[in-house]
Structure 1
Amino acid sequence: MRRQSLTRAIQLSLLLTLPGLAAAQDATPAPQGSATTLDTVTVTGSRIKQTNAVTAQPVFVLDKAKIDQTGLQTVGDLLQQMTSSGKALNAKFNSSGNFGYPPDGGGIGAGSAQVDLRNLGSQRTLVLVDGVRWVNESSASGVSGSADLNTIPLAIVERVEVLEDGASAIYGSDAIAGVINIITRRNFDGAEVHAYYGEYEDGGDTTEASLTLGGSGDRWSAVFTASYFEQQEISSGSWEQSRYPTPGTGVRGGSSGIPQGRFFFCDPTRPTTGVGGCDDDTENWYDITLNNGTTTPVFDPNNPNGGTYNSFDGSDRFNFAPYNLLLTPQKRKAIFASVYYDVTENTRLHVKGLYNNRTSTNQAAPEPIFVGPGAGTGGIADTISIHADNPYNPFGYTLDANSNFLVATRRPVEVGPRIFNQDVDTLYFNVGLDGTFTLGTSSFGWDFNYAHADNKATQEFLNGYNVAKMKLALGDPAVCAQVAGCVPLDIFGGQGRPMTQAMIDYIRTRQIDSSEQVLDLYSANVTGDMFNIGDRTAGFATGVEHRRYRGDFNPDPLRQSGESQDSFAAPVSASYDVDEVYAEFQFPVLSTLDLQAAIRYSDYSTFGSTTTGKAGFRWQPIEDIVVRGTYSQGFRAPNLGELYGLTQFGATLVDPCGSTGSPGPADPSFAAGCAAQGAPPNFEQANTQITTFTGGNPDLQPEESDSYTFGVVYAPSWASGLDWSQRLDFEVSYYHHKIDDAIQARDIQALLETCLREGGVGSVNCTPFTRGAGGNLNPPENFLDNLGRIETDGVDFKVNWSSSDFSWGRLSASLQSTYVNDYEAVDVDGNKSQREVGIEVNDSAIPEWQTNLQTNWTMGQFNVGWTVRYISSVDELCSNVPVSEAPGCMGGVETNKLGSTTYHDLQFNWDNAMVDKLKLTVGVNNVFGKEPPVCLTCSLNGYDAGTYDLPGAFWYVSADYRF
């Protein structure tokens, strides 16, 4: 009875509050004073059925009541608010037209939502639905190793269980950082209608509606859900930070692709004062742009700054931010059904199916034209010359890519913004049997599952250009005249002389990309009793699993040929199989001590076999305290994109030889390396985005990891059953993850700086870097390899409390807080990644502290909830800021501080108000309209969209009616 007291107290807390403990939600507590034992259930993190609510591994549970309290309507938004969650894609990322493809071959993921536990990357978090693997996303841009949570409608979710521990021995690959297990609604009788509407101060209207029907009989139960979700866009131009920006994403650090054009060339006809011709040491190189208001360009070679031109400088750069989106629009429609049928007394059949469609849009500023060797694409654009006979060429001679021409740019805003429309279909089918049997005095459970899942996506890209046609239209007009539709292209007239419709129609093109991922899975499991140890029973679970993965990526033919002005991408079509067998054991060694062990053997068709193990303990020395710990070996197999992808990535790279808006000389530590690479003393980086060739590696081996946790759960009996405290429990858990042979590309910024410090040439760190005309970096290569070691550790704190019922109501509170002690990533060459605890880099921060506090006051049918979300301050390195005079980084300071941020959320509920079974909710998230801290290094909108909320408050109303 004493041991059951803690179990029951904590289990009740799990059902009443936002918990931080492992949960057996389906179990029913024994009545007060009864010696009846709890029913056995399966808890995420173990396949052995057990009665203990506090297991050896830490599990965080969000039940439906607490999901509703957040006011959020997507699974991704819900999980990204967890304190253990790091940066992951969401609707605040508007990245399609600006960065190209990340090095992992998984694509941009436009419109998707992911989850990242412990800042280890979404590809290292395994997503399950009802204990079965979910298909990875395609999103039309690659073959990803991450699941898109937007494929799972929130309307079908009963609860979410988050295993905050490595679990490869239990679930196989990808479970290095933890496991998300989404449990769908199963037992439901009647009908329920849900309607929701919300919006931000600047728009982003959000509408959600769902219908759930359910029923049951003596031998069956069934649930059907249909849902609709629509979220409208918010333009970046509606936020003052984007309209009149202070960080590097604004005017001073914007793009050199400007509406008035930029022209960097040498006049070969003028006498020289140097060696002669257009060598780098002559005075005849011009970097000019057209004056505003010009309709007819006039160039004076004797006075390049006279006529209608002026020397290009930082004030001429283009602020692209207002054309982007703060919040990307999307629509989702879904149908889900599940049926359970008792075939016999001991055997049950289940069938589940889901269809989910998502349409979403990204938008970027009108696509800039970059031609000449300084374009830095590594493709056709770098080879383009502008013929002397082009009727719009004001200079009177050919701008030759092989001699006197670095780069010409022009952003034709008259074409309109780049539009990326995604259409994603997800189809899921699962059928299985489960049941029980006995042998002698031992009981056993078994199950068999087959699952088929298909995620298929297309992306339509509008207002992009065909570079091959641009080359023809800027070349010899006589050759252009022989090609149907070709007209000479004018990139010299600026906004005063826009491109004609005929010019636009010839170079503009519509591009279609598509990708697909398919997962077929067969699994069989048996769990039960082995033998008794004293008055307790040892348990086991064992099983087999077969999975087949297939992935296809078909970029538009223009991307494959390099004729797209947007990023290059190569197709992928591949598959692999894996066969696995595992065993898990639990031994009650003492009346107060349980030991657990698991082992899993995996055989992959791509790299061979591997074996992982796990061990854990649960010790309850006294009634009120449970001490627990685990040690886990983990692995992650390289996914199809990592093995076979080949793409380009537009890294926001700061060249230490002379950053944007800050011509050299370089810092003394880089000066010798810059000179050795051929960067002139007065070098200025032409553009903040330097294209990098990235891609997969078919020789990749699995990542390997070691993880351990240690925790204490304390539920004091002296704070139970009292007026001021019906129950109170505490949890402290330490975690540590170390990953070896991490699959990654090198930190290209850190690698460039190391290369320059080492002299700029000759060392292995300098292999990716060469420079072209004018000292600009040529596109480096940065392919994936088993390069890294990643190590992180920290502590989770959780507290749950509730009072008894008073005449004035009942109070409850829950606290979850995560402290990240250390995060370090080092490659095989000893280069340490800039990503650390308390540092903002690459649009991603790792705050030292994140804390969520939920409080509730309930009286009868009325409930008020107040949530406080805290994010500690972070620093960004001023050496990464693309503009030397950016606020916060002037005066020689090394870092810019992004202050701590606190959000307040309020929610009011009235249950059974006026009409029986009607629940009305009104809420406001970020009540005080807290704006995210301005980030000088962050892309697009000047803030970290993976860490902070959108600017401004979000209010919502919802109604639920059940009949």
Structure 2
Amino acid sequence: MSKTSTFLLGASSLALLASSPAALAQESGDEQLRQSTVVVTGSFIKGTPEDAALPVDTLSAEDLRLEGNPTLTELIRNLGVSSGVDGQTNQFASNGLEGTSNINLRGLGPARTLVLINGRRQTYSPYAIGEQAQLFTDTNTIPSAAIQRIEVLKDGAAALYGSDAIAGVVNFITRDNLDGFEIGGSFQTFEGSDGEYDISAAYGLQRENWGWVTSFGYQKRSEVSLLEKDWAVPTYAENPVGGWSSLSNPGYFVPLGFDGTGVGPIGGAISDSGCEVVGGTVDGTCQFQYTNFDNLIEEEERYQVFTEFNYDFSNGSQLHLEGLYAMTDVPSWKTSPAYPPQVLTNQVVPASHPGFQQYMADNPGAFPAGTLAALYIGRSFGWGGFPGTGYGPQEGSREYKSYRLGGDYTGEFENNVSYDIGLTYSTTEGERITYDTYIAGLSAALNGFGICADPITGAVPTGAVPGQGGCEYYNPFSNAIPAGAINGNPNPTFDPALENSAELADWLTDPVGTTVTTSLLVFDAVFSGQSSVQAAGGSIGWAAGAQVRRETFEVEPNELTDLDVNPGPGGTGPFSFLAGTNSADRDQEIYAIFGELQIPLYDNLDIQVAARYEDYGGEVGSTFDPKVAAKWQVNDMFALRGSAQTSFRGPTLNQLGGVATTLQFVAPTSAFKAVDQYGNPDLDPESAFSYNLGAIFEKDGFFASIDYFNFDFSDPIIVEEQSNIVDAAIAALAAGDTDADILNRITFQDPAAPAASGIARIETNVVNGPDIKTSGVDLRIEKTWDQTNGGSFMIGAESTYVIEYDVDPYFIEGVPIGGGDYVGQFNRSNFTRSMPQWKANIFANYAIGMHNFRAVMRHVDSYDDERGDLTGDGNSEIDSMSTMDLYYSADLPWELDLGLSVVNVFDEEPPFAQFDINYDPYTHNPYGRTFKVSLKKTFSGL
């Protein structure tokens, strides 16, 4: 254990004990139950009103119940202030984040929203968002049954909370007052799904001076194939970018022979004649739709346990202890039967190959006389499926395990100064397995040495004979495919003697795998009280504190993935598509002090002033961030509020080094290519200045609030966008500038003759990007009427309108890149996420007796695909989407709670997007009409 870790543990233990040493051993005789003091997110001063100067939205457990107890992923996606959220299966952009979920306030990136549990930090999920290198907190670790309320601070908060709070804070506050036992469950389903269900239980004991609550959650999601949705797998004519690739199996071949000077091409490319019968579409070459093998929802299984213990001492101090365990398992993540190779020049098939011989016999004259071999342009398995899984997709896995232990000791000294001293440790371990084809293994197998050769090096045993004595040929021709894996059509040219065996497929592929672990140890100490200084409106409240954080980030690649062990023929590893990585073990320690004043300047004017000094040490350095906020209660009905602050965020450990690979569609190649992403030890911290101006009106059951927000963001840490690099490289080639520095970022199939269609790999770096300015308006309106029959009726609406999201140009190898207003765009060609200009929810609620009826209409504005028309239909707009949700809940006798809901009543399909899965998974719900039933039983006072 490091010296800092020892200091944290020792200091926190002393603080917990020394504040009241006798109290820990003393039993209270007072006749009182534990009373929780609410500390509103955005302030450390107890008693700060919930309707203070800061824009904080609060969602209670009851609010969630009235909307069918949505999953946290669903809840977050529906928030108007959140856009570009991960949480659905999306291997074409989120790259391996299956099973996780995050929050993205203001569209500034999930890493810039600070997620708290009971006001304390939680460690990052181990795997970063692939295209952004952003680590985030996984909200799927939190059991819904444990949540009492969720507070969303829609404002920069670095002055109080430090890094990651640039866009705001989401604080999950757990329930501590349950006395009894609750058990519940829900089941929901939609067309094409076998359903998913949730089981939860919570047990609480509340005694004279202590309370204990434990909550348990279990979720099971069934696999749903994209094939279950007609809109998800359109034909090539309908959407040529909808998961189609020109690198197929069956593929195409370039005949090789004596060309007069040596062995070289002796004819043009020849497509395999079996393409269409097994499911492909011929457009110059055989087009392969890999999304046929992918899922809309992966099979998921999740366990969550949260427990907390609270003890009230006789002197008024309180001890709080909490623990969390969460496990998410995605056991059979589905993907394409094979990935396209990055380098095609080593895939040579000799004319003596049995499959080649049979193909030429079945197709006389297809290859020119004198053909000695053929260069195979394609992937190892395609329309025939992967033999090792019964001619279906390849399968990988993802697994996450999270642990959290925390405690705090709070109380008040005799001088009325309050203290809150806490220690929290959290860690998450993630394991990700994805299968890929060996570079050398495929070359050896094409020459008949499959299984008997070393798949990593291609070394052939002495005396081995092609196709004999345990050696097998890999057959790339259509006569190896018994039937189309998707259309089921039998292949008339199939020859069982030429079929690729499951044993060969298993030998040819192996897992690219890593285990990544993050941890976070935090010591907090906050002191607060009311000063003797009086303002016109009362005494000035104050808070001051310190925080020490220790973060770790550890990467353990398996032996095949470790570049130090297996660099492969090109230095990127032994596999055809996925790059390897290096092991890493990094840590950093962050120190902070902060202070806050709550000044009731007048009876109707409150001012909050806060500041924080945070030191990362080393090259990152330190920062001082102030904040000021005010609320003026103009009269009983109307109030004005505003805030301004600076924020700071240092680079996370994954951004400072190492290499990661994402799979991204590269338009000039009409295929997915590997994009290698390199960390950068020279990153500067990112910073922001933001302010918020708002007004609140409240009278006779009517409530309205409007807030204008503005963020000026400098030096954001981004990943260079590969499409920008490709465009700049193509422009250089078109200009005849073959020495341009930008070309060094691309590996070409033929380095001597670089061409856009011959791009093999792309190198991107984590860098400080261009300045960003964004602004917009949040609006909320509600009106409630009390009915003469004892019921109540409410209508309301909430909306977020983004006025601008202006991004400056930046430079890659001296070439200016991007820039402009990115609001109202899909943003597939830049480092931001899809950003509709506005989102709105309109709701109505009627409650009478034990019944509650609720309707919500959700609307997402239309937005443009800034890349233009890629499909040829003359339209690049992603249409708006409006859905209607209906909810019914009832408090039945015997402490039963019933919930019924229909989400997307009119079964609206998600709008079409020029994307692999044909919709925008960051924004829209793809499931269609969804039915849900839930039931909960409470046994009070057990």
The match for 2:841 is 852
Could you tell which deviates more after superposition, 162-171 or 569-578? 569-578
SS at match of 1:547: strand
Instruction: For 1:247 and 1:181, locate their aligned partners in 2 and report how far apart those are by CA, in whole Å.
Output: 47
1:594 paired with 2:606, answer yes
Instruction: For 2:122 and 2:613, locate their aligned partners in 1 and report how far apart those are by CA, in whole Å.
Output: 21
1:418 paired with 2:394, answer yes
The match for 1:911 is 891
Q: CA deviation at 1:341?
A: 0.7
The match for 1:690 is 673
The match for 1:147 is 137
Q: Map 1:10-21 onto structure 2 (within 5 A).
A: none
| Conservation of the 8 A alpha-carbon contact between 1:242 and 1:250 | no
| Conservation of the 8 A alpha-carbon contact between 1:466 and 1:558 | no
SS at match of 1:488: coil
| Conservation of the 8 A alpha-carbon contact between 2:252 and 2:376 | no
Which of the numbers 54, 67, 73 marks the counterpart of 1:76? Answer: 73
The match for 1:203 is 193
Letter of the 1:337 counterpart: T
The match for 1:108 is 96
SS at match of 1:817: strand
Instruction: For 1:559 and 1:811, locate their aligned partners in 2 and report how far apart those are by CA, in whole Å.
Output: 60
Letter of the 2:828 counterpart: N
Instruction: For 2:60 and 2:461, locate their aligned partners in 1 and report how far apart those are by CA, in whole Å.
Output: 68
Q: CA deviation at 1:764?
A: 5.5
Structure-2 change in CA distance of 1:214 and 1:704 (3 Å): same
Length-normalised TM-score, structure 2: 0.83
Instruction: For 2:651 and 2:641, locate their aligned partners in 1 and report how far apart those are by CA, in whole Å.
Output: 32
Instruction: For 1:182 and 1:705, locate their aligned partners in 2 and report how far apart those are by CA, in whole Å.
Output: 25
| Conservation of the 8 A alpha-carbon contact between 2:66 and 2:889 | no
Instruction: For 1:729 and 1:249, locate their aligned partners in 2 and report how far apart those are by CA, in whole Å.
Output: 47
1:831 paired with 2:827, answer no
Instruction: For 2:937 and 2:927, locate their aligned partners in 1 and report how far apart those are by CA, in whole Å.
Output: 32
Q: CA deviation at 1:836?
A: 1.4
| Conservation of the 8 A alpha-carbon contact between 2:236 and 2:281 | no
Letter of the 1:652 counterpart: F
1:636 paired with 2:649, answer yes
1:450-501 per-position Cα deviation (integer Å, ceiling 9, x unaligned): 1111111223445x43333223223475964547964332223452253123
The match for 1:652 is 665
Instruction: For 1:150 and 1:227, locate their aligned partners in 2 and report how far apart those are by CA, in whole Å.
Output: 11
Q: CA deviation at 1:782?
A: 0.9
1:673-727 per-position Cα deviation (integer Å, ceiling 9, x unaligned): xxxxxxxxxxxx3x322322212111112111111111011113xxx1xxxxxx1
1:65-107 per-position Cα deviation (integer Å, ceiling 9, x unaligned): 11122224422221121011111211x2241xx56xx7xxxx7
Instruction: For 1:314 and 1:592, locate their aligned partners in 2 and report how far apart those are by CA, in whole Å.
Output: 74
Which of the numbers 780, 799, 802 marks the counterpart of 1:817? Answer: 799
The match for 1:93 is 89
1:929 paired with 2:907, answer yes
1:588-625 per-position Cα deviation (integer Å, ceiling 9, x unaligned): 22332222221111111452222211111111222211
Q: CA deviation at 1:406?
A: 6.5
SS at match of 1:71: coil
The match for 2:919 is 943
Could you tell which deviates more after superposition, 747-756 or 731-740? 747-756
The match for 1:567 is 578
SS at match of 1:529: strand
Instruction: For 1:252 and 1:137, locate their aligned partners in 2 and report how far apart those are by CA, in whole Å.
Output: 30
Structure-2 change in CA distance of 1:270 and 1:763 (3 Å): closer
Instruction: For 1:256 and 1:81, locate their aligned partners in 2 and report how far apart those are by CA, in whole Å.
Output: 37
The match for 1:618 is 631
1:960 paired with 2:936, answer yes
Could you tell which deviates more after superposition, 157-166 or 833-842? 833-842
Q: CA deviation at 1:961?
A: 1.3
1:203-246 per-position Cα deviation (integer Å, ceiling 9, x unaligned): 15111111111121221111111221111121101111234446
Q: Map 1:407-806 onto structure 2 (within 5 A).
A: 410-411=381-382, 412-415=384-387, 416-439=392-415, 443-461=416-434, 464-475=436-447, 477=449, 480=460, 482=462, 486-492=471-477, 493-495=479-481, 496-497=494-495, 498-530=499-531, 531-560=533-562, 561=566, 562-570=573-581, 571-606=583-618, 607-655=620-668, 685=669, 687-716=670-699, 720=700, 727-757=701-731, 759=735, 761=737, 767-769=744-746, 771-773=748-750, 775=755, 776-806=758-788
The match for 1:289 is 272
Instruction: For 1:57 and 1:315, locate their aligned partners in 2 and report how far apart those are by CA, in whole Å.
Output: 59
Where do 5+ consecutive residues of structure 2 fail to align?
Answer: 1-34, 358-366, 454-458, 482-493, 567-572
Q: CA deviation at 1:133?
A: 0.3
Instruction: For 1:147 and 1:799, locate their aligned partners in 2 and report how far apart those are by CA, in whole Å.
Output: 31
Letter of the 2:786 counterpart: S
Structure-2 change in CA distance of 1:229 and 1:834 (3 Å): farther
Letter of the 1:842 counterpart: R
Length-normalised TM-score, structure 1: 0.81
Q: CA deviation at 1:184?
A: 0.5
Instruction: For 1:356 and 1:405, locate their aligned partners in 2 and report how far apart those are by CA, in whole Å.
Output: 46
Instruction: For 1:807 and 1:365, locate their aligned partners in 2 and report how far apart those are by CA, in whole Å.
Output: 57
- Tell me the matched-pair count: 830
Q: CA deviation at 1:853?
A: 1.6
Structure-2 change in CA distance of 1:710 and 1:801 (3 Å): same
Which of the numbers 129, 145, 149 marks the counterpart of 2:117? Answer: 129
Structure-2 change in CA distance of 1:552 and 1:874 (3 Å): same
SS at match of 2:54: coil
Instruction: For 2:113 and 2:73, locate their aligned partners in 1 and report how far apart those are by CA, in whole Å.
Output: 13
Where do 5+ consecutive residues of structure 1 fail to align?
Answer: 1-37, 296-309, 656-684, 721-726, 890-894
The match for 1:376 is 342
1:261 paired with 2:231, answer no
1:558-578 per-position Cα deviation (integer Å, ceiling 9, x unaligned): 233312345113133211111
1:603-661 per-position Cα deviation (integer Å, ceiling 9, x unaligned): 11452222211111111222211111111111111111111230222221222xxxxxx
The match for 2:218 is 228
Q: Map 1:269-348 onto structure 2 (within 5 A).
A: 269=258, 284-292=267-275, 313=283, 316-348=286-318
Instruction: For 1:595 and 1:931, locate their aligned partners in 2 and report how far apart those are by CA, in whole Å.
Output: 48
Structure-2 change in CA distance of 1:764 and 1:598 (3 Å): farther
SS at match of 1:66: helix
1:875 paired with 2:864, answer yes
Instruction: For 1:81 and 1:237, locate their aligned partners in 2 and report how far apart those are by CA, in whole Å.
Output: 26
Could you tell which deviates more after superposition, 133-142 or 166-175? 133-142
Instruction: For 2:84 and 2:58, locate their aligned partners in 1 and report how far apart those are by CA, in whole Å.
Output: 20
Aligned-residue identity in percent: 24
Could you tell which deviates more after superposition, 147-156 or 245-254? 245-254
Which of the numbers 313, 322, 327 marks the counterpart of 1:357? Answer: 327
Structure-2 change in CA distance of 1:856 and 1:147 (3 Å): same
The match for 2:156 is 166
Instruction: For 2:232 and 2:281, locate their aligned partners in 1 and report how far apart those are by CA, in whole Å.
Output: 26
Which of the numbers 35, 45, 58 marks the counterpart of 1:48? Answer: 45
Q: CA deviation at 1:505?
A: 3.4
Letter of the 2:761 counterpart: P
Instruction: For 1:140 and 1:603, locate their aligned partners in 2 and report how far apart those are by CA, in whole Å.
Output: 24
Structure-2 change in CA distance of 1:84 and 1:311 (3 Å): closer
Instruction: For 1:701 and 1:745, locate their aligned partners in 2 and report how far apart those are by CA, in whole Å.
Output: 14
1:24-56 per-position Cα deviation (integer Å, ceiling 9, x unaligned): xxxxxxxxxxxxxx9974111111223433211
| Conservation of the 8 A alpha-carbon contact between 2:336 and 2:393 | yes
Q: CA deviation at 1:362?
A: 5.9
Q: CA deviation at 1:887?
A: 5.0
